[in-house]
């Protein structure tokens, strides 16, 4: 069942239930009030018979038992009253009355003084009556009954009116439910159409117009945000593929040239062959490093799957510095305190390692590297010549290599990976000159209440 149909059915069902409950309440309330009025009229007549001494006894009272005039939906209606005396276990009706009222064991119990007066519905000759049986003198009881025709007719008309009104209300609710579901779910239809369009055409520039501030509007806005993220991701992938194809072309061309030369060279001197093999080995290492960096950069957005945790930035830096010292043999000095942050340990260690590798590449042999910490901030100082001012704004770009760096090992991806990691932590990267180059990042520190 479609959501629109389900919503219409739910709205119609809710309204129908409410109409039924209100109609039933109105019907039974009217019925109770009308029957209560009938019961009061019977009780009043019986009380007159019990409390008043009249000449002629029961016969005299019957002579004064006039018909009732009651108000119905058609005006004043004359209602006959039927009376009967129970004496010696037998019901005695007036001679002029053609209707005999039934005498049941409960009625006899009232005449014997064993039960109080009571009211009940009876049917005599197909006529619906309301009857009261009440004590009357010693070992006697009187029965007084009146037809309920006008009451039943009024209730029947009321039931018909309530049924028609209820059906009209349900029909109106169904129509309104369809209109409301159509207008409410129209954005979902637009969303579905846009999804189908994107799936068929791969057009990530498609957007949904959001003109409402409710849950459906929020859903449309969230979908637009998702499309924007997908579009940005696809653009990044396309740029990565384009840049990578360009960067891979140089080492592959160099390798192919060297291998072809080795294949043709027969009388090459051993020292020339050794130098050529060193070049091949260097190119292979560069190619391997480039591929590793590309894989890291292409998959790094998924690093957000690593949960955030409370980290001591100083301890994280110390771990990376210890490994860098063992790997490079270079002196690396760490000063300051990085404070506590919310971060992803593996990702931040990779970023810090790339900063140290960059400083190691640019620092002269034997020169120390300084790492200075402050809350949420890491600065790595190298002892190199610094960065040309025109290159400062580009050193974090993918595959960007300054003119001085093109003769040095590296893929041009290390600092761009640092930027990706820091950006996912809500921070920023920076670079400036201070004797040598200073490259680092800062991310928000943890706040405690």
Check pLDDT > 90 for residue 381.
yes
Kindly state whether residue 186 falls inside one of the protein's structural domains: no
Which residues does 85 contact at the CB level (< 8 Å), separation at least 6? Answer: 58, 91, 92, 93, 136, 140, 141, 142, 143
- Which segment of 101-105, 138-142, 197-201, 329-333 scores lowest on mean pLDDT? 197-201
Beta strands in 257-403 (DSSP E): 309-312, 332-336, 340-343, 369-374, 377-381
3-state secondary structure of 397: coil
The arithmetic mean of pLDDT across residues 118-129, rounded, is: 91
Using alpha carbons, list the distances in angstroms from residue 380 to 316, 359, 411, 432, 440: 14, 7, 20, 11, 6
The residues, ordered by sequence, that sit 6+ positions from 337 with a Cβ below 8 Å of its Cβ are: 314, 373, 374, 375
Over residues 148-153, mean pLDDT: 86
The residue whose two tokens read 């009249």 is: 54
| Cα four-point dihedral sign 122, 126, 128, 131 | negative
Last residue of a domain, one of 101, 134, 155: 155
Q: What is the mean pLDDT of residues 326-353?
A: 89
What is the predicted pLDDT for the residue at 55?
45
Helix axes of 270-299 and 414-424: crossing angle, nearest 10 degrees:
10
Q: Are residues 261 and 122 in the same domain?
A: no
pLDDT value of position 331: 92
Q: Which pLDDT band holds residue 199 (cuts at 50, 70, 90)?
A: confident
Q: Place 334 in a pLDDT band, splitting at 50, 70 and 90.
A: very high
Domain boundary, last residue among 104, 120, 155: 155
> 392 and 290 in one domain?
no
- The answer to whether 343 and 307 have CB atoms below 8 angstroms apart is no
CATH code where residue 358 lies = 3.30.565.10
At which of 120, 155, 190 does a domain end?
Answer: 155
- Assess if residue 131 is contained within a domain: yes
| Per-residue CA distances from 74 to 78, 93, 151 (Å) | 12, 31, 11
- My answer on whether 11 and 144 are in the same domain is yes
Secondary structure class of 165 (helix, strand, coil): helix
Contacts of residue 43, defined as CB under 8 A and 6 or more positions apart, other chains included, come to 132
**How many structural domains does the chain have?**
3
**Are the CB atoms for 112 and 139 separated by under 8 Å?**
yes
Q: Same domain for 151 and 265?
A: no
Residue 416 lies in a domain: yes
Residue 275 lies in a domain: yes
Query: Is the pLDDT reported for residue 54 higher than 50?
Result: no
Range of the domain at 93: 3-155
Do 260 and 317 lie in a common domain?
A: no
Instruction: Kindly state the tokens that stand for 207.
Output: 């957007």
Banded pLDDT at 56 (limits 50, 70, 90): very low
Give me the mean pLDDT over the 422-443 stretch: 90
Supply the pLDDT for residue 303: 47
Range with the poorest average pLDDT among 195-209, 355-369, 417-431: 195-209
Does 161 map to a domain?
no
Q: Are residues 141 and 28 in the same domain?
A: yes
Please check whether residue 75 lies inside any domain of the structure. Answer: yes
Write phi, then psi, for 364 (nearest 5 degrees): -65, 155
Residues 21 and 142 both lie in one domain: yes
In 10 A of CB 379, how many CB atoms? 20
At 28, list the tokens.
């039974």
For residue 116, being part of any structural domain is answered with yes
| Phi, psi of 427, deg, nearest 5 | -110, -165
Question: Measuring CA to CA, which residue among 338, 318, 317 is closest to residue 445?
Answer: 338
């Amino acid at each position: 069942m479609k959501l629109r149909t389900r919503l219409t059915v739910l709205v119609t069902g809710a309204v129908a239930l409410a109409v039924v409950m209100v109609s039933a309440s109105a019907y039974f309330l009217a019925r109770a009030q009308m029957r209560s009025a009938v019961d009061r009229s019977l009780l009043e007549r019986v009380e007159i018979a019990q409390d008043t001494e009249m000449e002629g006894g029961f016969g005299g009272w019957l002579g004064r038992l006039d018909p009732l005039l009651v108000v119905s939906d058609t005006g004043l209606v004359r209602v006959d009253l039927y009376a009967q005396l129970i004496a010696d276990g037998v019901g005695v009706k007036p001679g002029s009355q053609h209707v005999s009222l039934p005498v049941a064991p409960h009625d006899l119990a009232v005449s014997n003084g064993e039960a109080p007066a009571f009211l009940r519905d009876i049917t005599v000759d197909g006529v619906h009556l309301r009857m009261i049986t009440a004590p009357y003198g010693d070992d006697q009881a009187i029965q007084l009954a009146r037809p309920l025709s006008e009451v039943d007719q009024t209730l029947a008309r009321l039931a018909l009116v309530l049924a028609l009104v209820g059906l009209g209300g349900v029909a109106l609710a169904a129509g309104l439910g369809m209109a409301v579901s159509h207008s409410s779910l129209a954005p979902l239809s637009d969303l579905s159409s846009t999804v189908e369009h994107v799936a068929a055409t791969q057009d990530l520039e498609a957007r949904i117009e959001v003109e409402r501030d409710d849950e459906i509007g929020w859903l449309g806005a969230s979908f637009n945000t998702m499309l924007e993220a997908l579009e940005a991701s696809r653009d990044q992938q396309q740029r990565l593929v384009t840049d990578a194809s360009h960067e891979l072309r140089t080492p592959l061309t160099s390798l192919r040239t060297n291998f072809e030369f080795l294949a043709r060279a027969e009388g090459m001197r051993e020292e020339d062959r050794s130098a050529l093999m060193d070049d091949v080995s260097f190119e292979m290492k560069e190619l391997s490093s480039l591929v590793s960096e590309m894989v890291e950069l292409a998959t790094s957005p998924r690093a957000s799957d690593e949960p955030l945790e409370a980290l001591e930035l100083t301890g994280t830096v110390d771990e990376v510095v210890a490994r860098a010292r063992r790997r490079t043999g270079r002196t690396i000095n760490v000063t300051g305190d990085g404070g506590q942050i919310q971060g992803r340990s593996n990702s931040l260690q990779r970023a810090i390692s790339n900063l140290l590798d960059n400083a190691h590449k640019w620092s002269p042999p034997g020169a120390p590297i300084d790492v200075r910490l402050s809350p949420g901030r890491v600065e790595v100082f190298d002892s190199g010549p610094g960065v040309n001012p025109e290159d400062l704004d580009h050193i974090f770009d993918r595959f960007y290599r300054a003119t001085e760096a093109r003769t040095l090992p590296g893929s041009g991806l290390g600092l761009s990976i640092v930027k990706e990691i820091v950006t996912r932590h809500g921070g920023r990267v920076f670079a400036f000159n201070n004797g040598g180059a200073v490259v680092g990042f800062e991310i928000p520190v943890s706040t405690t209440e």
